Structure 1
Amino acid sequence: MTRLPTFFVSHGSPMLALDAGNAGKAWAQIGQDLPRPRAVLMVSAHWHATGSAVSAVAEPETIHDFGGFPPALYALQYPAPGDPALAREVFQALTDHGFTPRTDPARGLDHGAWVPLRVMYPKADVPVVQLALDMRQGPAWHYHLGQALRSLRDSGVLIVGSGSMTHNLHDVFGPEPVSPDYVAPFQDWMHGQLDAGNLGALLDYRRHAPHAERAHPSEEHLLPLFVALGAAEGERVTRLHDEVTDRVLAMDVYRFG
């Protein structure tokens, strides 16, 4: 079986589930370009657990983990099956590499997972397993988490990190107009370092990237990128999309491998 690439997608507002726009075209192209995967291992910005965790439910629910949106958004479902057998493989791979994950027999799919997946695989016929972030840890830890999962790509598992290239909700919803001048410099810096394979700078981006703390007041929306990057260690990097929405949300999509 051909080794699958990994991806980082910026999932943006939950409203993209109703109209995915230009980002949706990039998501759809991923599903169209690849052979059908055995399953998707989704690393979403919206699930956190100590030591990480793996969803092991056969029929994951669609979690509407947001508020204040139109009723049509809450009516959407993404009834993809889970894959408890893959969850056990992920658990074992992480354990073998010194991590201390747990399996979660009830966790469904949060919007960081199902919003892009319903465009990538609209028939909801590809099994999905979620992997949690550990917010006590930084980029290097999550990069190593990805490294531990690399072999899964050889058995048809598609590893996708879902977050946002920039994510400052205060600048989106704050009372004052916000200049987006910090977004492009941060995007450009990240793209340059990814393209050059400058891993040391990337793992220490909060010291080196321009406006890093403004772009990411907290790290949960960028950490999925490091998992996808680690799972494709040293392989080719391609930026597939780089739109900015809501003035300050960079919607970059990357393919690794």
Structure 2
Amino acid sequence: MKLPAFFIAHGSPLLALEDNEYTRFLERLGADLGTPRGIVVFSAHWDSPEQLITVDGQHETLHDFYGFPYEMYSLTYPAPGDPALSRRISELFTTNNLPHQPVLGRGLDHGIWVILKKMFPAADIPVVALSVDSLRSPEEQYNIGKMLAPLRDEGILLIGSGGLVHNLRLLKQDDQPEQWALDFDAWIADGLTAWDLPSLFAYEKRAPHVRDAVPTYGREHFVPIFYVMGTADEGRRAQLMIQAYQYGTLSLNCWMVD
């Protein structure tokens, strides 16, 4: 069965410990998806000018954050890798003339394991992590995702993990979203629903409050949306599954594309 693909905001690492509307949504989503043959994640926390692919047979858990409760550093997500799936991805990139490199021993960053721990807590589904390049053009990012579209017909769940509104320098003490964050998310939602690639590709010039929502130091959290959209270029359908906020300036949203 052909699987949809998803953009999933990973928010604060504390989501791994929390029980709220968004974490319960992720739990339901995982249950609804059943057991994919494998999971491939474009992670905002792996930003590289070269396309990188994990090739491990077994992943370690990266605690790539600081200043959090001790309990966070004891959490693990010992998911297996899938070297055969990594080779399949390499074949697709090679066919499309995309230079890429295998990486052994990186581990899964929190942008990956925090959401997967909620969706698939048993950690028994193979995971392959892919880097993003925040300096590529949106069109290039979209086309890289498009290269992996065949995987959706092969039982593979494709995810882009990041955050559409992600500004750590403007965090608040409460979760009430700032109006500019709402306006930006609404503009993105209009573009996704209409699959308006010209507007979305020009988001840095057209989107309202773009410098607050996607600061230059945090562009890597936004770009996974383009990678995952590319995997659904054939159908070009997008559906907002949930919209919530943390600390006023972190949007927690999940978009399904098909």
Shorter-chain TM-score category? over 0.9
- Per the alignment, residue 212 of structure 1 pairs with 210
Per-residue deviation at 1:41? 0.1
The Cα offsets for residues 46-98 of structure 1, whole Å up to 9 and x where unpaired, read as: 00222210000111110000000000000000011011111111111112112
Per-residue deviation at 1:15? 0.6
> Aligned partners of 2:135, 2:101: CA distance in 1, in Å?
16
Matches within 5 A, 1:1-257: 2-172=1-171, 180-218=178-216, 219-233=219-233, 234-257=235-258
Structure 2 length as normaliser, TM-score?
A: 0.94
Q: Is the Cα–Cα contact under 8 Å of residues 56 and 107 in structure 1 kept in the other structure?
A: no
Q: Is the Cα–Cα contact under 8 Å of residues 172 and 249 in structure 2 kept in the other structure?
A: no
Q: Percent identity?
A: 38
> Aligned partners of 2:57, 2:86: CA distance in 1, in Å?
10
SS of match in other structure, 1:158? strand
The Cα offsets for residues 139-195 of structure 1, whole Å up to 9 and x where unpaired, read as: 211100100000011111100000012011110179xxx982210000000001111
SS of match in other structure, 2:53? strand
Per-residue deviation at 1:108? 0.7
Q: Which amino acid aligns with 2:203?
A: Y
Give structure 1 stretches of 5+ with no counterpart: none
Relative to 1, partners in 2 of residues 1:180 and 1:193: Cα closer, same or farther, differing over 3 Å? same
Per-residue deviation at 1:248? 1.0
Structure 1 length as normaliser, TM-score?
A: 0.95
Which segment is superposed worse, 74-83 or 32-41? 32-41
SS of match in other structure, 2:88? helix
Per-residue deviation at 1:16? 0.6
> Aligned partners of 2:16, 2:137: CA distance in 1, in Å?
29
SS of match in other structure, 2:67? coil
> Aligned partners of 2:34, 2:252: CA distance in 1, in Å?
24
The Cα offsets for residues 184-242 of structure 1, whole Å up to 9 and x where unpaired, read as: 00000000111111111111111111011210113101111111110011432110111
Q: Which amino acid aligns with 1:216?
A: V
> Aligned partners of 1:9, 1:158: CA distance in 2, in Å?
12
Per-residue deviation at 1:138? 2.7
Q: Which amino acid aligns with 2:38?
A: A
Which segment is superposed worse, 138-147 or 26-35? 26-35
Per-residue deviation at 1:35? 3.6
Per-residue deviation at 1:11? 0.5
Aligned residues: 253
Relative to 1, partners in 2 of residues 1:117 and 1:20: Cα closer, same or farther, differing over 3 Å? farther
> Aligned partners of 1:20, 1:102: CA distance in 2, in Å?
38
Q: Which amino acid aligns with 1:237?
A: A
Indicate the RMSD between aligned Cα atoms, in angstroms: 1.5
Q: Is the Cα–Cα contact under 8 Å of residues 26 and 253 in structure 1 kept in the other structure?
A: no
